Amino acid sequence: MKTCLFPGTFDPVTFGHIDIVNRALSLFDKVYVGIGVNVNKQPMFTAEQRSHWFKEIFKDEPKVDVVVYEGLTVDCCKRINANYILRGIRYVSDFEYEKAIADMNRSLDGNIETIFLTCLPQYTSVASTLVRDVIRNGGDVTQFIPPVVHGSIKQMTF
């Protein structure tokens, strides 16, 4: 069984993230979205909220599951029996950064391969960091995030 982990903070979940998961479904038997908890980052949304969004978005897709994890991504891969790490690439600069991480992960566990998918052109400028800035400043993020995410955010105060 080909299983991958798509790790990230997903703070918040964007259409770009959803696009990568949807495109991975034809490549893998199981796609785990791995919500990484990083003590050096202060997320806008809880890991539970981000997990809920993915579960709601993919509730009718049995090949998608969500896991929240701390620590090394390769350790999470071992726990869920994933031999692949999936990463989305928007720009050349993303590739340089992601390749360094992929090389480190390969050094830590040579049985885990990193696969890169480039995002569709309409999602190139959609970054969670920018979406958070728009949210903090009261802007409309409808075009960047799925309806379930937007509905939750509208009910929150920042």
d(CA 91, CA 109): 26
Instruction: For residue 8, give the nearest of 75, 81, 66, 63 by alpha carbon.
Output: 66
Whether residue 46 is annotated as binding a ligand: the answer is: no
Q: Which two tokens stand for residue 37?
A: 């908890």
Q: Which of 78, 79, 90, 99 is catalytic?
A: 90
Cis peptide before 12 (omega within 30 of 0): yes
Catalytic residue among 26, 41, 107, 154: 41
**Has 48 been labeled as part of a binding site?**
no
The answer on whether 89 is annotated among ligand-binding residues is: yes
Does 8 count as an annotated binding residue? Answer: no
Our answer to whether residue 150 is catalytic in this structure is no
Helix, strand or coil for residue 77? helix
* Options 30, 50, 51, 128, the catalytic residue: 128
138 is in an annotated binding site: no
51 is in an annotated binding site: no
Active site residue 90: yes
Of 17, 30, 50, 51, the catalytic one is 17
Tell how strand 84-89 and strand 113-118 pair up.
parallel
Taking Cα atoms as reference points, which of 76, 65, 74 lies closest to residue 111? Answer: 74
Does residue 41 have an active-site annotation? yes
Asked whether residue 128 is marked as a ligand-binding residue, the answer is yes
Query: Is 17 flagged in the annotation as binding?
Result: yes
SS3 category, 3: strand
DSSP single-letter state for residue 138: T
88 is known to lie in a ligand binding site:
yes
**Would you please indicate which residues are annotated as catalytic (active-site) residues?**
17, 41, 90, 128
> Residue positions in the annotated binding site for substrate?
9, 41, 73, 87
> Residue positions in the annotated binding site?
9-10, 17, 41, 73, 87-90, 98, 123-129
> Residue positions in the annotated binding site for ATP?
9-10, 17, 88-90, 98, 123-129
